[in-house]
Structures are given as structure tokens and as C-alpha cells.
Chain A
Amino acid sequence: MSTAMDTESTYSGYSHYSGHSKKAHRQGRDRHKSPRSKDGSRSEKSVTIQTPPAEPLLGNDASRPEEGQDDNWGETTTAITGTSEHSISQEDIARISKDLEDSVGLDCKRYLGLTVAAVLGLLVFLTPIAFILLPQILWRDDLEPCGTVCEGLFISVAFKLLILLIGTWALFFRQPKADIPRVFVFRALLLVLIFLFVFSYWLFYGVRILDSKDTNYQGIVQYAVSLVDALLFIHYLAIVLLELRQLQPMFTVKVVRSTDGESRYYSLGHLSIQRAALVVLENYYRDFTVYNPALLTASKSRAAKHMAGLKVYNVDGPGNNASGQSRAMIAAAARRRDSSHNELYYEEADHERRVKKRRARLVVAVEEAFTHIKRLQSEEQQKAPGEMMDPREAAQAIFPSMARALQKYLRTTRQQQYHSMESILQHLSFCITNNMTPKAFLERYLNPGPTLQYDKDRWFSKQWTLVSEEAVTSGLQDGIVFVLKCLDFSLVVNVKKIPFIKLSEEFIDPKSHKFVLRLQSETSV
């Protein structure tokens, strides 16, 4: 039995194994430390259940570590480690409480921003109309009559306002797809600009026109038209700042997942760090294969074995030379002739062979299962009404013949918790409905797909934190590194500038392609 600190919690095959070592680990620690040590701060899913007694725990509970009795722990206690389907671990509780408080805070901020923008927008929209209508209302009799010119201007104002309305709706009225930590700089800037602009117009209007009761109505209408024109230009500015500027790619970012090193490259334009983080996350859900903690156990157990065999004894007397001890341990570990590389090689070769074998069995089973189903054409449908099945029933009929092979394959590749029987049946009926071949049906199970493909409960990554040394509203620069953390893993993002490309031109005359024979003769004389 290995002494590995293997603490993963896949309940299928590992629970007894990890429970054993978990108990040993816990016992060792509890001898030295005080009880109730909360190890919920560790970010792996290795938390033992040490919640206060008030919390209800479903399923087979852990018996609490009793400090006194050490002898019969192997036989008498059962323990669950991490989470099984039925229990709530400390992590989940932390997560739930964090969700609650965050959602309240962020919603307030989001709605505040939205209401401010909406109010301002309404104000801005109604201003030209107010400019035109107020003289009519207040001093109608004094106004100079203004015939066709004014009517023409009214039409142009109306249409420009309509265009502005449609443009604003297209540009700004979109579902916010994310909550970002800091305010969006360009949007705030634009709102301030619009506010100042409209304010100055009102000021001028109020002082020069309302107070003095100007009678030149045409001038007033033209003033309103100029306001609408300027608003259209501000809208153009908004498009350029918010949309167009970041389209041209200026930076290449490399995104690496911290747990297994999977990496991707993306091209970005001039964005702030928080918006770049948003783009990276949107692409993460599509491009990266799903995070599977079950695949990491092997490397963890190897890492534990490396340092587990060495203990340092201080022979020369007291004096806690910690750094000296650790250096001694590292040196001893390096000198020790251990064959773990051999183990790794053979283990991996063996695993690959097993996977390939199971895969072959699976493919054969599925192909055979699919041959039992035949689609009825519409003419044939009237002839045999009794035996007809809809896709769901057809799927249920052929599922048992491939279920075992599929289950075994999923267990070998450690994907079994991502696919429940219900989801497999659904997928099978979907494939049958759309005339897919067995290979198309299997595509989902043979390769681990992107996170979006799976059920939201298995994502392990919904709440993200942006960790950055620079301010998150500052723009991307060459060499910036920021980290997107979620509870179980993190994405390290490295920004590099796309180099300045010097492209020059060369003209080659098509007639200049000439060739000559390379001779090397030898003549005897």
C-alpha cells in the first residue's frame, strides 16, 4: 500500500484507498496540532469533513478524529474524503456563501451603472425635442413665422433622432455577458463626455434663448439640429472607441492551465486587462478540454513518493537549521538511485495499451448496436404501426448492448463522472434522430471535449478571480502577466506584443528565370 497522500475522491474505485491513507495522514497531523484544524484553505479537493456539528451531512458520515484512540482505526472507522455526491464539504459551503454575498454586491453595481446610463440616454434623447418645443410653448406669439425651412429642419431632426435611436440600441442595449471588477473606462468616459456636452448646450440655451426670449425660431431649430448632429458624431466616436479600436490584433496572449499545462494562443487588440481576461475566459470554455481532477492523481502520488522516504535527524544537538535540513534532503533525494522513471514509463505504456483495447471493444460494440436499428421511411410507416419506436425508445433498446463496454472505457479514461446514464441515452437518441454513424456517436466519449460540452455541475470553474499586478483597467502591454484563478486551478496569461513587421517589395521579371547546365565531364587523354 503506498504511502501516497492521494486524496482525490472519485468514489468509483479510489475511496477505500484514499480513505486509508487519509486516516493515516490525519492521525499523524492530529498528534502534533490542536484539533479542529481547518484545512479548507488548501485548494485541492482534499478537504476532510470537519464542519461544525450544526451542518447536516448526508450519506455515510465520517467519524470525527478522536485523539485518544489510535489502535483500531483501521477496522472501526469509515471515512469519506473530499466530496461524494451526497455530502457537502467545507469548500462547497464557502463557495455558497461567497456566491451569495458577491451576487448581491455586483448586482447593485451593475444596476446602478445601467440606470445612470439609461437616465442620461433618455435625457439626451429628449433634449432636441425640448429645444424645439419650449419656445412654441412659452412664447408662441412672439416667434417669427418660419415656413418651409423649418419644416425641412423638423424632418431632418426627426430622422436623425431615429437613426440615433437605432444606433444606440444596436450598440449599447445588449445583454451584459459578464461582471467585471472595475468600471469600464471608455464607457464611463463617454458618459461623462455626453453629460458635459449636453449640459453645456442646455446652459447656452437657458441663458441666451430662454432668458432673452429669442424670436428667431429658425435659429433655435438650427441649434437643435446642430445638437443632434453632434450627438451622432459622439455616437461615431463611441463605435470607434468601444468596438473598432480593439479589432486590429496587436498582442498575442498565451494561456496556460496550471494543473496540466494545456496551453493556447489568442490574438487580441488594444484591450484593458479586464476585457482581455473576459476574452480569454470566453475562449477557455470553448477551446480547453474540460478540467478533470481524476487525471492528476498519478503525478501527485509520484510527487509524494519522492520526498516521502527521507527523514532528517539532527545528530549534532539542538539547533533548528531548517534550510540546511531541506537542502540535505534535496541532495539525498538527488543521489538516491530511484527507478521511478522506469515505473512511469511502464505504467504509461500499460495504460495506453489498456485504453486502446477498451476502445476497440467499445467501437465494435457500438457498431454492432447501431446495426439493430433501421430508420423507417414514410411509406413503410403505415405498414407496420405496431413495432414503431420513437428515438428515445430506440435508444433505450440498443443501449444495453453497448453499456458495459462504454462504462469500462469511461472508467479507464477516468471520465465516468462526466457522463451519466441519462445523458448517454439522450445523446444516443439525438444521434439516432440525426442519422449519425457510430463513430459520430462515439466522438463525444473518445476524446475529452471542451468545458461547454458538459453539464454545468461538472465544470469546476464558474467563479473567476483576476489577479494582476497592474491595474485591471490599464491597457495591455508587452510582458504583462496576469492570472485567472478559480477554486481548483488557475490560468496563467502571458502577453506578448506582435512584432513590428518590415515588409519590403521585390519585383522579379518573369523573363529573368534562366538556367544553365552544371557540367563536370572527365575526358581521358
Chain B
Amino acid sequence: MSSRGTKQKKGNVTNEQEEEDQPLQAVLIADSFNRRFFPISKDQPRALLPLANVAMIDYTLEFLTSTGVQETFVFCCWMSNKIKDHLLNSKWCRPTSPNVVHIITSDLYRSLGDVLRDVDAKTLVRNDFILVYGDVVSNIDVSQALQEHRHRRKVDKNISVMTMVFKESSPGHKSRCEEDDVIVAMDSKSKRVLHYQKTQGLKKLQFPMNIFQHGSDEFEIRHDLLDCHISICSPQVAELFTDNFDYQTRNDFVRGILVNEEILGNQIHLYVTNEGYGARVSNLQMYDSVSSDLVRRWVYPLTPEANFTDQRGQGCAHSRHNVYRGAGVSLGHGSQMEENVLIGRDTSIGANCHISNSIIGNYCTIGDNVVLDRAYIWNNVHISNKVKIHQSVVCDGVLVKEAVLLNKQCVLAYNVVIGPNMSLPEGTVVSMHHPEEEEDDDDDEFLSDDQVVGNSKDKTKQKGLVLNPDPDSDSESEASDGSQDMGSRSVSPEMDDVKVFQLEVLGTLQRGEEENIGCDNLVLEINSLKYAYNITLKEVMQILTKVVLEYPFQQQGTKLSSSQYTVLLLPLLKKWSPVFKNYIKRAQDHLDCLSAVEELFLEQETHQTAMVKVLMNMYQLEILEEDAILKWFSAGATTDKSRQLRKNQGLQKFIQWLKEAEDESSEEGE
């Protein structure tokens, strides 16, 4: 890097005058490298998803152009052809465009790091450039930030490599979503970033002391900042990504720079604006808030009626209460558009509809007596009579049949047909894509800022998604995936992991039963699952116990009698006892296993008589030790129910028997 660094410096000396005159460049990354919009993004790249009826990337390009960017490199990976087509047909590729757009596509990009390494390899940037994602919506004038950045670089000899743009936004504001919350420690005077961290899932924020050793006596810790994901980068940034090939995301980069500050001497600064709008549509929650902000004109001059993309027919009329109507919109008798409603061109709406806070795309037909609230209806959607949609996204080409109710946070992906007469529970995601198909053809993980969150959740999500748009096999999908939730603020991925793990264990055991797999291999599989879902040993044991004991119900339904149940269960216990023994070793393990047994039988009250037999069997198979059972019996009762359970006659007898056996054995010992 050093050799290149000096070259750069020389260049700077000779070109110092020209520097100001050189065109401002931007690197726009039209791929999110994550799957927060899956399965919608399966059919359409995120950058092209409509936001108030305009593709997201158009907002980003408009923002760049208005801030003075004259040359933009758009990097595409996923569905690059679609993005390319879109851009070639847009105003950005007309010869009159003040912003020259170069489209660079490659299927090899897997992260922001890859893109910037490519920028470096191709030496595309000559000067400070703006780095944005293709889903950033903003009207911030970054020229001030750019000036500060340049000034810093002039004064401090290229020490500052990046200026991150933040918008002030207090916690609790709706444009904040927990997933993107950051905490920044900065030097008050120099605006230097000392510490940068995502706060999701943290209770305590820890700042290393060395960041306070820089001679300054005033620092700021800020949690009122919204990361706009707009960064002003020095050309070194691309080089640094090349030098540190393990940097994949901007987070990696920022962390690396801050940690190695003393070694490399590079610094990152921040620019905070309290006017202007800047946000990244990083998930559906943000999609919801940014869309509604657009309609409410917070992003002025990027308003729906402005038609800044200069597409023919896109224009619409703005009337009071922020109601926008495109050309050729027809509205049936008695229909109300209450407020904050945007309706695209040639959309027809039936009679007696009630629409509020919603966006409807082009060429849609909406029947009679439809209620839409916070609904995002894209293009060519057909909605039949008496449909109610609350806070949901309906993608292109969807057909919603009569009397369908979409509760909050539902997503109907492309071309889904749904209904009639059904209600989708909260958080349902319906897509035409089979989750497994996704797993097969797209195995390599993307590397992105949300990686940690994304990965673990994607798996659960794929399980939860309904793939079949057939109206009858509808809603077994309890798509509790936080990723697709709009407005849900508390997400607990651990819970999902445990659930999925349980399903996987069940699957493993079923296969083991069907294909007669040896216990050693079962243990091996369960172990690998344990690591995949990050499950503790204790949980493994509890889940294993639960799954095995529930196995008969699973196979034969819950209407088994107790005796039938035991008949089915006991051979299984015998068969899988080596699996148990592998996990139940220490005294605590025994107790945990027993409490899992207890828990299960507390749920299955009718089968409590079977419990004794199960315990007896487990004892005889040497899965459980008598000491542990006795200890559990004497100490374990914490609730009334469990006390009740212990009064079971059979159980009492069993314990009695155990005690006597113990006495005998100890006598024998003597």
C-alpha cells in the first residue's frame, strides 16, 4: 500500500488545483448482499422495488445528482440485467443527464468489500467519492460534509479516510429501527469517530478506555443518530479494502480503522445534519416508514407528484390531506381517500372503499367495499370486493380474491393468488417460491452488515414461509420471522432457533427410525445441529427428551390412550437410549432431563399414569440414576401443579421402590 500511497500523494500535489474541478464521483451499490427482503427480492432486486411508485435506485441517483455528483458507478450483482435495463431506460442514461452513470456488473460480488476491491483494481475513482447503497432515500445536501471532509484532508495530510453522514433522530422516532441502531462515541471538537457499534441486543454499552486518551477532554456518546448509509470516502478507502481482504462490510472497515487507528493513523469522522432527510430502506419496517415519509412530503423536493424520474405518465396530482392521484384513476361511488394516499396511474377503485395511509401502484383494480390502511399495493394488483388489508405489502401481479383479510405485517410476494374468504394471521408471508429451491441454488452466504442477524433468521424464515398460493392449504405459516415484520420492534431470534432445532431433531429421529440409522450417527447429526443453531447442551437435552417423549403423539396423533402411548414409546426409548446416554452424564444433566420429562407430562395431563412407566424404563435402561430421580422428587416441586404431579400414586410407589432398592443396595454394599 505504501508505494501506492506515495504515488497518490504525488498526484495530489500536482493536481491540487484541479482537485476542486474534478467531477465528483459516487459509487452506488445496487445490491444489498443480504436477504432482508426475501422472498420479494427473489423476483426483483431490492434497488428496483417501488417506493411510492418509483424504484428505490431512482431516489438514490436523484439524491446523488442533486448533491453535485457527476459520475456514478453502479455496481450490480443480483439480477444485474434487470437493473441495467431499468437504468438504460431511465433519464440517467440520456445524453443530457448531468450525472454520467456507468453500470458495472459481476456475479462475483458477495459484499461491499468485493465491490470496493474491484473499484481499486479498476482504479475507477480518482478523488473523494460518495459511497451509497441503492436503497438510500435522501435529500441531504452533502456538499457541506464534503467540504469539511476535504478541509480535514488538506490540513491533516490524508489522515481522515471517511466521513459518515448521520441524521439526528431521537430514539422512539419511527424512522429508527432497532436493527440499525448504532451508538457512536466521538470527539466533540474534531468530530472524530472513536467508537462505532450496533446496539441491537445489547443491554450495556461498553467503551474501551483507550478511546478517551486522545488529549481531548470532551467526548460525546450519541444514540440519537440515524445512519443514512451515505459515506464520503477518500480514494484510500478502496485501497484499504484491497489491503485488508477480510473487510467485507462497511462495519468491518469502520471497526478495523478505529481499532488500528494507532498503527495506520487513519481516522473516520462524522457529519451530523439535523435538517434534511436520509434513510436506508434496509428492511420492511424501514420500507413502511420511508414510504409514509415520502407521502407526507418529508423528503421534499422528492415528492410523489414531482415526477423527478421524468417518466411519461408518472405524474400525479396532489390535493389536500396528501392525497395524490395519478392519471386515469377512477374512483367508485362512496369511496373515501382519507389522508396520505398515493394512487398510481390507470388504477380503478370500486365503490364504498376506505383508503388511508396507503400507496397503490399503477394499473391496479380494486373492488368494492375494500378497506386499505397502511397498505402498500404495487403494480398490476387485482383486489376483489370486501378485502381488508392492514399494514401489509402486496407485490406486483397479486390477485387477492373476495373477502380476504390481511392482518398486520403480511407480505404477498409476486404473482400470488390468494382467497377467497380467508384471513391471514399477522406476519404471514406468501410467496411462489419454494424455500428449499432457494437453499439449493443459492448456497453461498452473502456477507453484509446484517450478516449475524440475517443468517440465523433466514433459516427459520424459510421454514416458516408458505410457498403454496393455493387458497386451501393456507395458513399453517406462523411466519414469525422478525425480518419480514413491519413495525415489530422486539425480535427474539433465539426462540426461533430453538424451535427450528426441535423440528430438526424430530426430523433426524424420524429418518433414523425410517432408515434405521445407528445411534452414533444420530448423535453426530444432533451435534452438528447443535452448532448450527447455537444451542446449549442443556437445551439439547431438554429438547431431545421432549421430542422423544412426544414422538408417539407425533406419529399417531394425540388421541392415544396412556397404555397405547407407553407401548409405542418404550421400544423407542430402548432404541435411542445410547443417544440419551451421550448427553446425560453429569448429575445436573439428570435433573435437567427429569425436569423436561416433568414439563411434558404436566402438559399432557391425561397421560400422567404413563410417566411412571417412562421413568421406570429410563431407570432400567440406565439413562437416569436413582439418586437423581430421588433428588428430583424431593426437591423439584416449585408449582402447585408439579406438587400435584408428585402425589400420583404410581409415582409414589415407584419412589418408594427406588428408596428400598437403594437401602438394599447400600446394605449389600456394607
> Are A and B subunits of one complex?
no
Chain B residues near A (Cβ < 8 Å)? none
